[in-house]
């Protein structure tokens, strides 16, 4: 009888412990993974910059043009990427300090033939980031190569934002320094502001990056700006040269977020932010 009672007590303790575990609040990392999963599962738009690769820090950068439509992008003709390929289930996450309303996250993953490091900014309906993939397979022809990719994804209504006069979105930009130097591949971070002017004849967007620094060295970088881009079907783009481009989309049910990808002056990356003015 005593043995049966002991077993019953132990079973009850195990059940109680299980219930207690299920009632524990999620950790910050678990919450971050849930946020990421919700953004990716609800995303219907993916923007990616050209895929940029190199072997040595002083080699010329090789460019593969990227074309995006809806939630899928093609690098060249045969390499396809969709929003579902940006999962973090098998990645290590390091939660960084929030800045200007954007949650900053560092992602890492190692494999048998390659590994990657990504810095991302996560909002509520969208996310953006810069990823550096390094190929490490001993016998592979790509051993030693690095590829930089920039991305922005989220839920877009395809509609233009609305306001009287102008509206502003504030957030961050993240990029990679691709100039020939020992610091090639290092991360660049700065403030990103998008201002939309609602004119009688057209809606235009300005994108400005300021207070840009190399996060590893602290070296300041030049400001960047693209102005007077037409806003159509919930997005905008400026393409001035293969290495001087910007494209963006408004995200969220009320276009309350913005995100996009860019390249200029040897720096390629992505940006995102939240609306700070009332619609």
Distance, in Å, from the CA atom of 66 to the CA atom of 51, rounded to the nearest integer, reads: 7
In sign, the C-alpha dihedral spanning 112, 85, 177, 273 is negative
- In this prediction, residue 25 carries a pLDDT of 87
At a CB cut-off of 8 Å and minimum separation 6, what does 147 contact?
51, 52, 53, 132, 133, 135
Backbone angles phi, psi at 5, to 5 degrees: -65, -40
Report the alpha-carbon angle 177-180-185, nearest 5: 35
Domain assignments of the chain as residue spans, ordered by start: 28-275
Query: Is residue 264 within 8 Å of 243, Cβ to Cβ?
Result: yes
- In this prediction, residue 22 carries a pLDDT of 57
Determine how many CB atoms are found less than 10 A away from the CB of residue 279. 11
What's this model's pTM, rounded to 2 decimal places?
Answer: 0.89
Q: Which two tokens stand for residue 48?
A: 């990616």
Condensed to tens digits (0 to 9), the pLDDT of residues 116-158 reads 999 999 999 999 999 999 998 776 677 879 999 999 999 999 9
**Structure-token match 């007590």, residue found:** 9
At a CB cut-off of 8 Å and minimum separation 6, what does 25 contact?
none
pLDDT under 50: residue ranges of the chain = 1-11, 13-20
Burial of 91 (0-12, 13-18, 19+ CB in 10 A): middle
- In this prediction, residue 9 carries a pLDDT of 41
Closest CA to 252 of 30, 32, 38: 38
First to last CA, the chain: 72
Q: Which two tokens stand for residue 197?
A: 């002017």
Closest CA to 209 of 195, 230, 228, 229: 195
- In this prediction, residue 151 carries a pLDDT of 98
- In this prediction, residue 11 carries a pLDDT of 46
Closest CA to 124 of 106, 96, 148, 98: 98
């Amino acid at each position: 009888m005593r043995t049966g009672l002991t077993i019953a007590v132990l079973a009850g303790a195990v059940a109680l412990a299980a219930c207690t575990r299920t009632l524990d609040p999620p950790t910050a990392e678990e919450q971050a993974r849930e946020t990421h999963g919700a953004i990716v599962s609800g995303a219907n738009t993916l923007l990616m910059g050209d895929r940029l690769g190199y072997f040595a820090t002083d080699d010329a950068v090789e460019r593969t043009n990227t074309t995006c439509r809806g939630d899928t992008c093609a690098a060249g003709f045969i390499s396809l990427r969709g929003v579902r390929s940006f999962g973090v289930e098998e990645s290590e996450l390091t939660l960084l300090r929030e800045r200007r309303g954007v949650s900053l996250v560092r992602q890492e993953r190692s494999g048998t033939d390659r590994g990657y490091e990504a810095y991302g900014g996560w909002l509520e309906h969208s996310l953006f980031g810069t990823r550096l993939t390094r190929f490490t397979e001993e016998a592979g022809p790509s051993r030693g190569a690095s590829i930089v990719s920039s991305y922005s994804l989220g839920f877009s209504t395809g509609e233009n934002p609305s306001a009287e006069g102008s509206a502003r979105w504030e957030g961050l930009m993240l990029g990679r320094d691709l100039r020939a130097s020992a610091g090639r591949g290092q991360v660049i971070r700065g403030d990103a502001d998008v201002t939309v002017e609602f004119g009688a004849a057209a809606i235009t967007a300005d994108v400005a990056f300021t207070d840009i620094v190399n996060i590893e060295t602290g070296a300041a970088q030049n400001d960047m700006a693209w102005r007077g881009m037409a806003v159509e079907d919930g997005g905008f783009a400026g393409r001035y040269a293969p290495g001087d481009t910007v494209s963006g989309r408004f995200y969220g049910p009320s276009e309350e977020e913005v995100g996009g990808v860019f390249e200029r002056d040897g720096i390629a990356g992505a940006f995102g932010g939240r609306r700070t003015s009332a619609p």
